Chains A and B, each alone.
Chain A
Amino acid sequence: MLTNYIKIAWKVLLRHPFYTFITLFGISLTLTVLMVLTSFLDHLFGTHYPETRRDRSLYIQFLTQTDSSRTFQNKGPMSFKFLTDYAKSLKTAERVTILTFLNSSNAYVGSQKIKLSTKYTDADFWRVMEFEFLEGKPYNEQNIANSDHVAVITDDLERQYFGSETEPVVGKDIEIENIHYRVIGVVRGSPVTRIYSYADVYFPYTAPKSNYQNGGMRGGYVAVVLAKDRSDFPQIQEEFQSKIDRIPLPTVENGFKFSVLEVKSEPYLEGFVGTILDGNKGLKTIFFGIIAFIMLMLMGLPAINLVNVNVSRIMERASEIGIRKAFGAPVKTLLWQFIVENIFITFIGGAIALLFTLIIIHFINTSGWIAYADLTINLTVFAVSILVCLVFGLLSGVVPAFRMSKLNIAEALKS
């Protein structure tokens, strides 16, 4: 029976190429937008190379100091010393790495300038992040203790700086900002959208110009705290908070006195949203509300369109329904027919959307628009989108079909 339904559905779709086109266009457009968007969000916030443990990492990115009158605020990354004292020492964490966000430097190949993003890290950085080493190895505690002038570079920089791709570059000299470093390893680069792992060159924090010895609380460093398991988050956050609470107040930074001190250790997404919204709880709710609303509109408008198309299509088919009923089609069968038709078209739309999404994602990944972009289709998202479309397809098919099936046959035949 089902194959029969599908056969009829297929015929119906072919019979009404215009409606089929409109409907398919609506469905596939919606699903494509939805999938590309979620794929992009997943790229931004999901757990991907080389931050393959992001789902069990907490991020300490800002220290906020506020004076007693709450008129002056000092906010930014922290000093290496501060993070060593309060983050590195966390007992509940599996591992903690301290690193800088991006610094920019220049290197020269002949007379051609290469703009570089550089990052200073500790040795644990290479244990918290899971970089793929194409050549060589990361620097270790020994290199750091020796203040070795060593660097890990990306394959992109290797190509730009050394030209040849075949010859090994480990042990070769690279000059950045007039300082010579020995290349110790080459990694596959991280996308620029992952600021904790992205850089062109990685230095041990004891390399020149890292400013790791600066006193005070503020500086250029952030920390990533790796938990053994997500469920340890509350414990770790509590331990960290209690350490922060024990810091004597007021603190003094650059001659200013601050009576309030705030540092958070948060999962990636929360930290990101918190940065945008400055930690305002109400704003956060609104932010997620707006996202949900946009998502709903993205799916809702085409769904309404789908209902409209279906209603007019079914009205057009009133006499057909009358005929089928006159020759013995039960209402239930006709309802199923419409439902199958809608599900069928939804699946075709989904398949088209999947294709479009793959093309768009491939385009984004290869266009160089985002270096090392690695967008993928999240299958859960795909399944959910299909499900949503199915529900809409069902509703939009059932509602008008139900109206028609209730229609008096003699009446339907007159139209």
Chain B
Amino acid sequence: MITLQNIEKVYRTSSIETLALNNINLNIRKGEFVSIMGPSGCGKSTLLNIMGLLDEPSKGTVELDGERIGQYRDKELARIRNRKIGFIFQSFHLINDLTVLDNVEIPLLYRSANGKPRQSYAKDALEKVGLSNRVKHFPKQLSGGQKQRVAIARAIVGNPEIILADEPTGNLDSGMGNEIMNILQTLNNDGTTIVMVTHDEAMAKRTHRLVRLFDGTQVL
């Protein structure tokens, strides 16, 4: 599903150079639920962003569904992000002045779907995360757990094959975190490939496979 080869990522600022990822080779198979762990600043987010085409590696190749991404232009990258990938972020990243429903609809805006099915797809997705009674609310009116469920609804609304979750439970208490984890597991049972960054060993244990990073290098 996702194949990373010899990935290296260097951040250059005027004064310093950070080697965030060093020679990463990783293969995520279809239907897998993989967790990534490691201390803060070891490059987990960077890795996830490269998998999700939000960032480019300094070296190495990314393959998605057998497609080599390297030479792709913005339009093609956008299409892949839109069709194949759903993101979940630690800090939710909802657009604050859009309603829950409008937030969930975002991925569908960039497909040639019309208004009516778009809304019903979004409502279906919200139902899956148990938030169908909050469609007209704004993110500010929701708890952290509810926000993350909206974010999950947004990630799954377009039926992507892959979900990339960057510390989805990091800002939530353990109860809420468990709920989110349950949803993710259900999605995975239904066939969605999931890669999740987490700090929580218990969460990681519930996944198929664990990848450990240390200082930009894969140690497990």
Give residues in A with beta carbon < 8 Å to B. Answer: 4, 11, 15-16, 319-320, 322-333, 408-410, 413
**Interface residue from B74, B75, B98, B110 paired with A327 (Cβ < 8 Å):** B110
- Are B74 and A410 in contact, with the CB atoms below 8 A? no
Instruction: Chain A residues near B79: list those with CB within 8 A.
Output: 328, 330
Interface residues of chain A: helix, strand, loop or mixed (majority) = helix
- Are B106 and A324 in contact, with the CB atoms below 8 A? yes
What number of residue pairs across chains A and B have CB atoms under 8 A from each other?
Answer: 71
- Are B95 and A410 in contact, with the CB atoms below 8 A? no
Give residues in B with beta carbon < 8 Å to A. Answer: 45-46, 49, 52, 54-55, 74-75, 78-79, 81-83, 86-87, 89, 93-95, 97-98, 102, 106-107, 109-111, 115, 154, 158
- Are A327 and B54 in contact, with the CB atoms below 8 A? no
A319 to B91, CA, bound (A): 12
Q: Distance (Å) between the CB of A404 and the closest chain B CB?
A: 13
A246 to B98, CA, bound (A): 82
Which of A16, A329, A408 has the largest count of B CB atoms less than 10 A from its CB? A329
A330 to B81, CA, bound (A): 10
Could you list 25 examples of A-B contacts with CB < 8 Å?
A: A11-B97, A323-B94, A323-B95, A323-B106, A324-B106, A325-B54, A325-B78, A327-B81, A327-B87, A327-B106, A328-B82, A328-B111, A328-B158, A329-B110, A330-B74, A330-B75, A331-B75, A332-B74, A332-B75, A333-B78, A333-B110, A408-B55, A410-B45, A413-B54, A413-B93
Instruction: Chain B residues near A322: list those with CB within 8 A.
Output: 93
- Knowing that A327-B106, A329-B78, A410-B49 are A-B contacts, what are 11 other residue pairs whose CB atoms are under 8 Å apart, sorted by A's residue number? A11-B98, A320-B95, A322-B93, A323-B95, A325-B54, A327-B81, A327-B82, A328-B78, A328-B110, A331-B78, A413-B54
- Are A15 and B110 in contact, with the CB atoms below 8 A? no
**Interface residue from A4, A320, A326 paired with B87 (Cβ < 8 Å):** A326
A324 to B79, CA, bound (A): 12
Q: Distance (Å) between the CB of A88 and the closest chain B CB?
A: 74
Q: Top 10 nearest A-B pairs by Cβ distance? A: A328-B82, A330-B78, A15-B97, A409-B54, A327-B107, A328-B110, A410-B55, A410-B49, A328-B81, A410-B54
A409 to B55, CA, bound (A): 7
Q: Distance (Å) between the CB of A318 and the closest chain B CB?
A: 12
